[in-house]
Amino acid sequence: MVVAIDEKGGVVGQILAQIRVKRRFLYINFTRRARIYGEGCYKDYIDYIERGKLFDIMMNALVAHLLRHRCFHIELSDISKKMFGYRTLRKHGFVPIPWIQVHHSLHSRAPEERASAKVIQRVEKAIESGFETRKVESKAEIHQLYRLIKRYYILRKQRYIPNEELFQQIGNSVFGHIYVTEYKGKMVGGSVVVDSGTDSMLWFDAAMEKRYMFYHPHTLTVWYAIKETHKRKQNHLHILNLGLPFSHSNYRDFILSFGGKPVSAYRWFRFSNSLMRHIMFWYYQI
């Protein structure tokens, strides 16, 4: 974490980043990647222009630190405004790439009114066939779900899964909600939801869809997460990691079938190869 302090020594801004290590062969660390979470947090009295100046100062220090630690791939996500920090990020060689998110509005209409007829039919069929989704009841169940999620994502684009300790902490937090889907006593799916104020985020969802393809446990898993979020009177449920806006995406179409709306956003990436940075910026220029 990088922090900015005023002349009295008080913290006026901070930016959080995480370094991820990739082990390629015999557990030897060959590459490191960094993830920066948003433009940072600032004191309420700091206006938009001053935030931009503080962001520039903190990013100078943060990028220098990450490069010293051999982080040759840096990703910055969740910028609140499209053009915030544009000059700073371009100065450091970051490239803006379109990213898709889906927001489910829960405050004006019930989930049943927004979901497609196919989703409702699949949920009813799964329940009638003996599938059940509920909240986890023990650390052992969280451990079992963590292993299922690791297997589910191993061949997918989102391959980074945090340490199990984070899942256990989410399960113990009043702001975390972990659900599991079972069939005949066997865990076949689950989801992880985290609350942030009146909004919630679906961090992970997984299910043995291919093994039980005629019963659609994945549909039931996501549906239960949406329904429980609605019961807690949250305003929105956000699915943030749908990736690039390809013309065809099975997962995106699946998520949209529940009635959410796609929202265009940008993530900023910095690649170690300068030629790649120039090509990517030319292709994705905004």
183-199 pLDDT, tens digit per residue, is 999 999 999 999 988 99
With contact defined as beta carbons under 8 Å apart, do 2 and 38 qualify? no
Predicted confidence band of residue 124 (pLDDT cuts 50, 70, 90): very high
Residues facing 236 on adjacent strands? 105, 199
For domain 101-264, give the CATH number.
3.40.630.30
Predicted confidence band of residue 148 (pLDDT cuts 50, 70, 90): very high
Q: How far is CA 136 from CA 29, 164, 171, 192, 209, in A?
A: 35, 15, 8, 10, 20
Predicted confidence band of residue 170 (pLDDT cuts 50, 70, 90): very high
In this prediction, residue 286 carries a pLDDT of: 45
15-47 pLDDT, tens digit per residue, is 999 998 765 555 555 578 899 988 999 999 999
pTM for the structure as a whole: 0.81
Residues 187 and 148: their CA atoms lie apart, in Å, by 9
* Encoded amino acid at 242, one letter: L
In this prediction, residue 129 carries a pLDDT of: 96
243-279 pLDDT, tens digit per residue, is 666 667 788 899 999 999 988 878 899 987 777 767 7
Q: How many CB atoms lie within 10 A of CB 60?
A: 14
In this prediction, residue 96 carries a pLDDT of: 87
Q: Is 18 left (phi over 0), alpha (psi -120 to 50) or beta?
A: beta
Residues facing 206 on adjacent strands? 190
Predicted confidence band of residue 70 (pLDDT cuts 50, 70, 90): confident
In this prediction, residue 100 carries a pLDDT of: 83
* Residue 240 scores a pLDDT above 80: no
86-113 pLDDT, tens digit per residue, is 999 999 999 888 888 899 999 889 999 9
Decide whether 2-92 matches 101-264 in CATH topology: yes
Q: Does domain 2-92 have CATH number 3.40.190.10?
A: no
CA-atom Rg of the chain in angstroms: 21
Ramachandran angles phi, psi of 126, nearest 5°: -65, -45
**Mean of all residue pLDDT scores within the chain:** 89
- Chain mean position to CA 205: 11
Predicted confidence band of residue 72 (pLDDT cuts 50, 70, 90): confident
Domain residue extents for the chain = 2-92, 101-264
Predicted confidence band of residue 283 (pLDDT cuts 50, 70, 90): low
- Range scoring the smallest mean pLDDT among 40-44, 75-79, 175-179, 245-249: 245-249
Q: Percent of the chain scored above 70 by pLDDT?
A: 91
In this prediction, residue 30 carries a pLDDT of: 59
The more confidently predicted of residues 264 and 53 is: 53
In this prediction, residue 159 carries a pLDDT of: 64
Residues 162 and 141: their CA atoms lie apart, in Å, by 17
Helical packing angle, 164-172 and 139-153, nearest 10°: 130
Q: Percent of the chain scored above 90 by pLDDT?
A: 65
Burial 25-58 (b: 16+ CB within 10 A, else e): eeeeeeebbbbbeebbebeeebeeeebbebbeeb
